Amino acid sequence: MKKFLMLLGAFASLSFGSMIGMEALGEEQVLGGTASAAGRGFAGNAKAGDAEGLSVINPARLAFDTKTVFNLNFLMEMDDAKKDGDHYSVSKLSLPSFNLSFPMGMWGAMGLSLWQHYSSQLKEDQKDKASGSDVEIEYQGSVYELVPTYAVRLPFFRSLSLGGSMHFVMGNTSRSLKLGADKTELDKTETWASGNYIISDYVDGTWEIKDHPAYYTGALQYRGKQVSYFFSYTTGYTLLNTLDYELRFSELDTLASNRVKREIEVPAMLATGINYRLAKRHNLMIDLNWRVWENDIPNMAGSWKISESTETQKDFMVSLGYQCDGSPLFYESYLKRINYRAGAWYRNWYIKDVFEVGGSLGGGFPLGRKGTALDLAFQGGKRFADTDHQWEEMFIGLRVGLTGIATWGQERR
């Protein structure tokens, strides 16, 4: 059993890679990260325009849109973690966000977003060479948010807008651990009688907000001829995760089952950003968001003495971005109509001593006369942990977004 525990401990230490916080909340996705935002290092929430669309971190930006915007995003990522000669790699495909927004003239604008806030994905089989036993481990889970948004420009100060959004939380999480029989303590002449028994630990649960239907974000946006900036505040909330545990013997008999409710205190978040426009088409941008975690996060844990909690820290992200806006004129050459993007970011994760640096290149490629575009972003970087059990992980990814623009409900000119 000690060898099993050591192997499970090795899996737990992998939380410093793309499996960050697997027993806690999982890997935190960039707030509403679209393919267009990823191309400029996830900066640009202050960039307001005719069809910038919905921003989860800055709902006030939506008030400056004059066209209906539909946006769908995909993420394909490969991660490679190394430590003391050990090596681990994983790939994933996910749908981080879906956004829809439409203007209502003098009544402002409304939007709806479905985005993935946290994710946990891992499936791996290992064989303990010392004991000859097999170990299977699988994590699957997502915390999704449905975010309706409303924003309006002030009547006498049209350069200013106010916006607010509600975040309805949903999702599920599960973990499966299967351990084969350990025959190392048996005499060779007696191993035939031990059988190929398997002990399985299953955990399955759902996510919701405790005592409230949602949490909230409020924002103020200023849009000038050259400079635009925003400030936003997101309320703190308590995540409630209801978990059902089952310990099974050879998948036939349930040895133990119980239900546990764990509560995770998510602190309030402050965010700000600025976009500076040069020569009409060139945009320089910087975004910053931070929150102060005060309490450790209770883990799923359960059987086999997995750590009961995950230590937290002050988490923040600073991102720098550049975008060269393509020409809106259809008769211009195709290369001049492309949006060119580049960016970089530094990030403290919510888990203590876990950090990330990354960079990206991207483009928005027009698909027709009305402004429909295909957004591509290539991103890469490194995640690392400043601890004794340090895993260094390199990651590369491709984000693909489809942005559709229309004039639903507006009069034709």
Give the number of C-alpha atoms closer than 13 A to the C-alpha of residue 290, restricted to the C-beta side: 8
d(CA 350, CA 309): 13
169-182 burial, b at 16+ Cβ within 10 Å, e below that, comes to bebebbbbbbbbbb
pLDDT at 163 over 60: yes
Q: Are 241 and 266 in contact (CB under 8 A)?
A: no
Q: Beta-carbon neighbour count of residue 224 at 10 Å?
A: 12
**pLDDT value of position 227:** 96
**pLDDT value of position 129:** 53
Q: What is the pLDDT of residues 272-304, one digit of tens each?
A: 999 999 988 999 999 999 999 999 999 887 766
**Greatest C-alpha distance within the chain:** 90
Stretch 172-199: mean pLDDT, rounded?
A: 62
In DSSP terms, 97 is beta-bridged to 73, 115
Structure-token pair, residue 342: 């580049």
How would you classify the pairing of strands 253-266 and 269-278? unpaired
Stretch 152-160: mean pLDDT, rounded?
A: 92
Q: Which of the residue ranges 130-134, 252-256, 370-374, 391-395 would you say has the lowest mean pLDDT?
A: 130-134
Confidence class for position 230, pLDDT limits 50, 70, 90: very high
Q: What is the pLDDT of residues 32-78, one digit of tens each?
A: 678 999 999 999 999 987 778 889 999 999 999 988 888 899 998 88
d(CA 68, CA 53): 8
**pLDDT value of position 389:** 58
Stretch 304-329: mean pLDDT, rounded?
A: 88
The enclosing H or E element of 102 equals strand 86-103
Q: Are 143 and 176 in contact (CB under 8 A)?
A: no
Structure-token pair, residue 262: 């764990």
Length of the chain, in residues: 413
In DSSP terms, 144 is beta-bridged to 116, 170
Q: Are 283 and 322 in contact (CB under 8 A)?
A: yes
Query: Can you give the residue ranges of every domain in the chain?
Result: 2-67+103-186+198-358
Q: What is the pLDDT of residues 243-280, one digit of tens each?
A: 988 877 765 555 667 888 999 999 999 999 999 999 88
Give the number of C-alpha atoms closer than 13 A to the C-alpha of residue 215, restricted to the C-beta side: 20
**pLDDT value of position 385:** 79
- Residue 257 buriedness (CB in 10 A; 0-12 / 13-18 / 19+): exposed
Confidence class for position 180, pLDDT limits 50, 70, 90: low
Q: Are 169 and 143 in contact (CB under 8 A)?
A: yes
